[in-house]
Amino acid sequence: MFFKVTQLNKSFGDKKLLKNISFTADRGDIISFVGPSGVGKTTLLKIIAGLEQPDSGDISFASGHNDKNPAVMVFQNFMLFPNMTVYDNIAFGLRAAKTGKKLIDEKVCEMLDCFQIRDKKEQYPRALSAGQQQRVAIARAMVIAPSVLLLDEPFANLDKNLKAETASFIHNTQKKFGTTTIAVMHDQEEAFRMSDKIGVMLDGKLVQFDTVDRIYHAPISIKAASFLGQVNMLCPKAVDKIFIKEPLDFTTHQYYFRAEAATISCNPRGEWKIMEIIFFGANISYYIKNDNLGFYVNSLDSHFKKGDVVDLAINKILKESLH
Ligand SMILES: Nc1ncnc2c1ncn2[C@@H]1O[C@H](COP(=O)(O)OP(=O)(O)OP(=O)(O)O)[C@@H](O)[C@H]1O
């Protein structure tokens, strides 16, 4: 354990925003917090960065952390100095710490190479794309070797293609530096792509904090699962119209499945009819119905047509205890 947050609470006025937030990170972990707008994600980062005071709770590091720069935050709008070149932006923290000129040059050049922006070093931020500005902002934070790098909505100003590329880039560079990284975001796909662990925040609480694999395959509740993808609720009436391997007990549990955890197959005597097809490129979402029951099924298979009659099989059922 390298970094620990214990029982953080924060209110603004009479609004209790963060409620008993606790988690730990190992050195080099990349962690993302996701949750609806206004749940307090940025406030959590600000508290870790020391920019906001918690009402109660504690933040601690294991020995061997950087005392001078425990946590450095990269803001959503990057906040680069507009009148400084890329080189000077990155060098800023080192100059402020009165680092020698030669060492500054070595460290800044290492960052320029690592973040693949060496050819931009004499340019001003306004001449850079959003993706390049973000790399400068992260490089500026990383050059002072913080114990924890905090990223506020790192994908908010990037277009769809750049989001995926940036998520992989951040993952790879942070693994190379071994810097513990904590990000907050709305983007679920990028959270999975970038992180080792994900924290799901709902109603001011950290409802689940786990590896990406467990967050996806073993969500703690229907609400947490719905935040990370589309889910369908099962009811007893639907069960005999679906191919399901396991027995279900609706007196003890609520059952649900992810849209991508089901398959449809054409069968003229099937129970389900395709009512709507939404094309997402690689993925296609089919809305199927039987009387007043309806489910969304995501598939890579594009040969189904509206009106096709199909069978429905669920490959993985998720459950939440009723008690
Ligand atoms: N300094 C402050 N004073 C009063 N209220 C604040 C302050 N900072 C944040 N808030 C309020 O706390 C709530 C949570 O804000 P925060 O920015 O942490 O949420 P968030 O989860 O990051 O939201 P988003 O995803 O939209 O950025 C908001 O309602 C916000 O208005």
Q: What is the pLDDT of residues 203-229, one digit of tens each?
A: 999 999 999 999 999 999 999 999 888
301 shares a domain with 215 = no
Q: Is 37 in the pocket of ligand 1 (CB under 6 A)?
A: yes
Clarify whether residues 101 and 191 are in a common domain: yes
Do 11 and 144 lie in a common domain? yes
CA dist 35 to 20, 77, 155, Å? 16, 20, 15
What's the pTM value of the predicted model, to 2 decimals?
0.89
User: Could you read off the pLDDT of 160-207 as tens digits, one per residue?
Assistant: 878 888 889 899 989 988 999 999 998 888 899 999 999 999 999 999
How much is the ipTM here?
0.96
Q: Residue 164 has what pLDDT?
A: 85
Instruction: Name the domain boundary from 188, 206, 227.
Output: 227
Tokens at 316, concatenated:
């993985």
Same domain membership, residue 215 and residue 276: no
> How much of the chain, in percent, has pLDDT values that exceed 90?
80
- pLDDT tens digits along 257-279: 999 999 999 999 999 999 999 99
Instruction: Based on the fold, state whether residues 195 and 265 are members of the same structural domain.
Output: no
**Beta strand segments in the chain, E:** 3-12, 15-25, 30-34, 56-61, 71-74, 148-152, 180-185, 197-202, 205-211, 231-233, 253-258, 262-266, 272-280, 283-290, 293-299, 309-314, 318-321
Six token digits for residue 311:
């069978």
Of 207, 227, 247, which residue is a domain's last? 227
Determine contact, residues 216/244, Cβ cutoff 8 Å: no
Q: Looking at the structure, tell me whether residues 38 and 109 fall in a common domain.
A: yes
Q: Are strands 253-258 and 231-233 parallel, antiparallel or unpaired?
A: antiparallel
* Structural domain total, the chain: 2
Ligand 1 near 156 CB (within 6 A): no
Whether 74 and 135 share a structural domain: yes
Are 223 and 235 contained in the same domain? Answer: no
Q: Which of 199, 227, 255 is the last residue of a domain?
A: 227
CATH code assigned at 112: 3.40.50.300
Q: How much distance in Å is there from the Cα of 17 to the middle of ligand 1?
A: 8
By residue range, what is the domain housing residue 265? Answer: 230-321
Name which residue sits closest to atom 18 of ligand 1, judged by CA: 40
Q: Are residues 156 and 289 in the same domain?
A: no
- Nearest-CA residue for atom 24 of ligand 1: 37
Is it the case that residue 69 has pLDDT exceeding 90? no
Closest CA to 183 of 194, 169, 168: 194
Query: The CATH number of the domain where 311 resides is what?
Result: 2.40.50.140
Distance CA 154, CA 170 (A): 9
Q: Check residue 309 and give its pLDDT.
A: 97
Measured by CA distance, the residue closest to atom 1 of ligand 1 is 12
Task: With cut-offs at 50, 70 and 90, classify the pLDDT of residue 151.
Answer: very high
Q: φ, ψ for residue 308 (rounded to 5)?
A: -60, 140
